[in-house]
Structure 1
């Protein structure tokens, strides 16, 4: 199974574009920052990941306020067929219960 769920903020986003087939596409960069436990020791985890939303949710995806803490669900796939880089394909999102705006 290829499923990723991450709490993150949108730190950068594009304008809506369309594929040659007419499918709306929204792209953004998501930033995650948390403390995790690994081998019984605390670990600070920070990363940015490119994300894409296609179809009906793409417009709502690009309407997310920069810095708003959200829960994103989706899957990972290569950027393109010949690439080794991964992109997070967002299929669902919702506001996190923690309403903190991380860019304030």
Structure 2
């Protein structure tokens, strides 16, 4: 299964464009930073990832605030022109981090 959920901030946002079929599309760069336990050891994780959204999501994404955390859901593919990975966004929501849960 190819399903990805990632909490990240939008670092760069390209202008809204349209595919040859007239579908709105937007390319952007996501940045993620966290600490994760791996084999019992805390590890600092930093990730920069290319992303794209189409249709209504593209029109909504263009209005998002740079640097604010969102939870993105989608799938990964290889870019057509290279072997890099692109995160295709299917949904997003504002990420509200709870600092001290009770």
TM-score exceeds 0.5 = yes
> Does the residue aligned with 1:67 lie in a helix, a strand or coil?
coil
Superposition TM-score, scaled by structure 2 size: 0.92
1: CA distance, partners of 2:95 / 2:5: 12
Q: Residue 32 of structure 1: CA displacement?
A: 0.1
1:78 is aligned to 78
Q: Residue 84 of structure 1: CA displacement?
A: 1.5
Q: Deviations over 1:11-39 (max 9, x none)?
A: 10001000111111011100000000101
> Does the residue aligned with 2:49 lie in a helix, a strand or coil?
strand
**Count of aligned positions:** 98
2: CA distance, partners of 1:48 / 1:72: 14
RMSD of Structure 2 on Structure 1 (CA): 1.2
* Deviation >2 Å, runs of 4+: none
2: CA distance, partners of 1:2 / 1:11: 24
1:89 is aligned to 88
> Does the residue aligned with 2:25 lie in a helix, a strand or coil?
strand
Q: Which runs of 5+ in 1 are unaligned?
A: 100-104
1:42 is aligned to 42
2:23 is aligned to 23
Q: Residue 98 of structure 1: CA displacement?
A: 2.0
Instruction: Output aligned runs, 1:58-77, within 5 Å.
Output: 58-77=58-77
